Amino acid sequence: MSLEAKAVSIERDNRPIVEDATIAIDRGGMTALVGPNGAGKSTLLKALAGEYAVTSGEVSLDGRPVSGLSAGELARRRSVMAQASSIVFDFTVEEILDLGWVQGQSRNNGQHRAATSEVVRECRIGHLMGRTFNTLSGGEQQRVQFARCLLQVWQPHDEVDTRYVLLDEPTSSLDLAHELMVLRLARRYAQRSAGVLVVLHDLNLAARFCRNIVIMFEGRVVANGDPAEVLNDALLSDVYATEIRVEWHEALERIVVHA
């Protein structure tokens, strides 16, 4: 069971943006999508989310083409955190979170309240409840959007997760501590057998938290696999046109990438 793009090409304004990309987001672990600015990461993520039509190839969710799923079904099976989101109306934080509650049950029942308070506690946004979203700092807004995303695919803990979470640079505005918090929560969610795709620019975080790393370059998937295999000096230096070194850090017991 996975969320898959098979040989997907996407054009925007008659320009090829993604070409022949194949990627599978398996359940049970996080997949990182990395690559330089403009490589096509957000475009591929939106196609996986069913938000962009593909020019050729196919996107399927557990074997069913996403183009055939209803909006409601898509909302229950996968949540998306966009790279940039502007909120036009003066919604409160509660109202933003409520937008994420799509599980069919009405609001303000026991399950909705339990799920919301769990997610609010985990994302450490309790002190922001009652505030107007547009008055929050960039990092606070990002944590609320992340919480909304988790709430959308919330499932009771005694059920096996069958959902997918697509996060486009969810930590771009966060301080170090909150960055780790978000990635730990996302990974734990994946370990409960959901599938999580996260677009990241920080290759160290990608290596540390993700089971699989996909590298995109100029619209194509140029590497896909285990972090230790995919992250190598030659490929990264080529893709980023910058000298990059990958080393094993004995004390930290993990890969360190530096430019």
Ligand X SMILES: Nc1ncnc2c1ncn2[C@@H]1O[C@H](COP(=O)(O)OP(=O)(O)OP(=O)(O)O)[C@@H](O)[C@H]1O
Which of 42, 152, 171, 224 touches Mg ion (CB under 5 A)? Answer: 42
- Report the residue number, 82 or 231, with the smaller CB distance to Mg ion: 82
Q: Is 116 in the site for Mg ion (CB under 5 A)?
A: no
- Report the residue number, 43 or 116, with the smaller CB distance to ligand X: 43
Two tokens at 125? 């946004």
Q: Is 142 in the site for Mg ion (CB under 5 A)?
A: no
With CB under 5 A as the rule, give the number of residues binding Mg ion: 2
- Report the residue number, 46 or 143, with the smaller CB distance to Mg ion: 46
User: Quick one: which of 229, 46, 196 has its CA closest to 21?
Assistant: 46
d(CA 3, CA 127): 35
Q: Is 43 in the site for Mg ion (CB under 5 A)?
A: no
Distance of CA 174 to the CA centre of its chain: 15
Query: Applying CB under 5 A, which part among 7-15, 36-44, 144-152, 247-255 lies near Mg ion?
Result: 36-44
Cβ 95 to ligand X, closest distance in Å? 27
Which of 6, 28, 29, 83 touches Mg ion (CB under 5 A)? Answer: 83
Cβ 170 to ligand X, closest distance in Å? 13
3-state secondary structure 194-220: CEEEEECCCHHHHHHHCCEEEEEECCE
Question: 151, 75 in Cβ contact below 8 A?
Answer: no
Query: Applying CB under 5 A, which part among 81-89, 136-144, 200-208, 245-253 lies near Mg ion?
Result: 81-89
- Cβ-Cβ contacts under 8 Å for 70 (sequence gap 6 or more): none
d(CA 219, CA 197): 17
DSSP, res 160: P
What 3-state class would DSSP assign to 75? helix
Cβ 17 to ligand X, closest distance in Å? 4
- Report the residue number, 186 or 214, with the smaller CB distance to ligand X: 214
- Report the residue number, 42 or 60, with the smaller CB distance to Mg ion: 42
d(CA 31, CA 197): 5
Q: Is 224 in the site for Mg ion (CB under 5 A)?
A: no
Cβ 168 to Mg ion, closest distance in Å? 6
- Cβ-Cβ contacts under 8 Å for 176 (sequence gap 6 or more): none
Cβ 113 to ligand X, closest distance in Å? 36
d(CA 75, CA 54): 19
- Report the residue number, 17 or 120, with the smaller CB distance to ligand X: 17
Two tokens at 176? 């170090």
Binding interface with ligand X (CB under 6 A) = 12-13, 15, 17, 35, 37-43, 83
Q: Is 173 in the site for Mg ion (CB under 5 A)?
A: no
In the chain, which ranges are continuous DSSP H helix? 41-48, 71-77, 93-99, 110-122, 138-152, 176-191, 203-209, 227-230, 233-240
- Report the residue number, 9 or 42, with the smaller CB distance to Mg ion: 42
Which positions touch Mg ion (CB under 5 A)? 42, 83
